[in-house]
Amino acid sequence: MEIPAESWYKAISLRHSQRKYSGEIPDESVTSSIENVCAEFTPFPSVRSVVVREPANDVFKGAVGQYFFKVTKAPYYIAFIGDMTETNVQACAGYTGEGVILEATALGLNTCWVGGFYKREAVLKQIDLKDDEKLIAITPFGYSEEEKDRVGKSAKPYRRKSLDKLISRGKIGDIKWVKSAVEAAKIAPSAANRQPWRFEINDDSITVSANSKRKGIGVSRGLDCGIAMLHLELGALVNGVNGDWKFLDYPEVARYKIN
Ligand SMILES: Cc1cc2nc3c(=O)[nH]c(=O)nc-3n(C[C@H](O)[C@H](O)[C@H](O)COP(=O)(O)O)c2cc1C
């Protein structure tokens, strides 16, 4: 499937993690659109996304971890599954899952990446995994109770690091696609909002690396970096700049080289 750059790019700044849902079941046409994007947005053969048309109550029961709010009343959820024998599977899952999440956002749904604090056993009762597959993350989807309270209010700001902390080498200068790409990547979601991505800017490429100074929290930094990769690419695409990703050795994750 070709990336719908304009609509996903627009969705980037509408997406915020939502944990309190209204319980309202999305229309059949909306849920089928999500199922379609799960089936069609498969840029890497090692990752698949599956819609689970079951309330995620048991999946989130008591599972909060370091998060203050647990997910409640989500009518449905999506499971992101990876073949663990493949390399770069975490980054591939982040990239793929974020595409599905941005499509959901564009359709007016709310979501929340959940990487660690949910009950895997409860999900595994509702989906089947093949031999080498593992559940990498899930997201509830539905309509947020919190968002309803915000109707008519100004856009919610993102708590994020400044670009000078994220750019490890090189400068944005006055290159429009680079500015748009790193700004879109900057507001990507990450586990515990740790924003592990760092960007090295060269004339015809941007390299994404993972900063690993902070203690691990049981969720791969590669997963976060994969999410930022999609945002970065969308920022380039809306400026008419196409490129290709090449995966690299950790702590570098991947390089986007323009065509
Ligand atoms: C890979 C990943 C795992 C996450 N895991 C959880 C989680 O277990 N529980 C939770 O409530 N939020 C989780 N989040 C949501 C983050 O806390 C959230 O994205 C971050 O604080 C930034 O806020 P925003 O998404 O509203 O921009 C996760 C996000 C990502 C990307």
Q: Which atom of ligand 1 is nearest to the CA of 70?
A: 11
Whether 137 lines ligand 1, by a CB cut-off of 6 Å, is: yes
pLDDT in tens, 218-257: 899 999 999 999 999 999 999 999 999 999 999 999 999 9
Q: Which residue has the tokens 């400068």?
A: 171
pLDDT in tens, 50-66: 999 988 888 987 655 66
Whether 81 lines ligand 1, by a CB cut-off of 6 Å, is: no
Long-range contacts of 206-209 (CB under 8 A, 24+ apart): 206/178, 206/181, 206/182, 206/232, 206/255, 206/256, 207/248, 207/252, 207/254, 207/255, 207/256, 208/232, 208/252, 208/253, 208/254, 208/255, 208/256, 209/168, 209/251, 209/252, 209/253
Cα distances from 25 to residues 54, 123, 138, in angstroms, run: 10, 19, 18
Q: For residues 79 and 47, what is the distance between their CA atoms, to the nearest angstrom?
A: 10
Whether 219 lines ligand 1, by a CB cut-off of 6 Å, is: yes
Query: Are 30 and 107 in contact, with CB atoms under 8 Å apart?
Result: yes
Beta strands in 41-120 (DSSP E): 47-52, 76-83, 110-111
Whether 83 lines ligand 1, by a CB cut-off of 6 Å, is: no
Question: pLDDT value at position 152?
Answer: 58
The domains of the chain, with CATH numbers, are: 5-149 (3.40.109.10), 163-258 (3.40.109.30)
Question: pLDDT value at position 153?
Answer: 63
pTM: 0.96
Q: Which of 230, 194, 229, 223 is nearest to 115 (CA)?
A: 223
- Of the listed ranges 10-14, 72-76, 125-129, 155-159, the one predicted with least confidence: 155-159
How far does the centroid of ligand 1 lie from the alpha carbon of residue 114, in Å?
A: 6
Question: pLDDT value at position 55?
Answer: 82
Q: Which atom of ligand 1 is nearest to the CA of 112?
A: 15
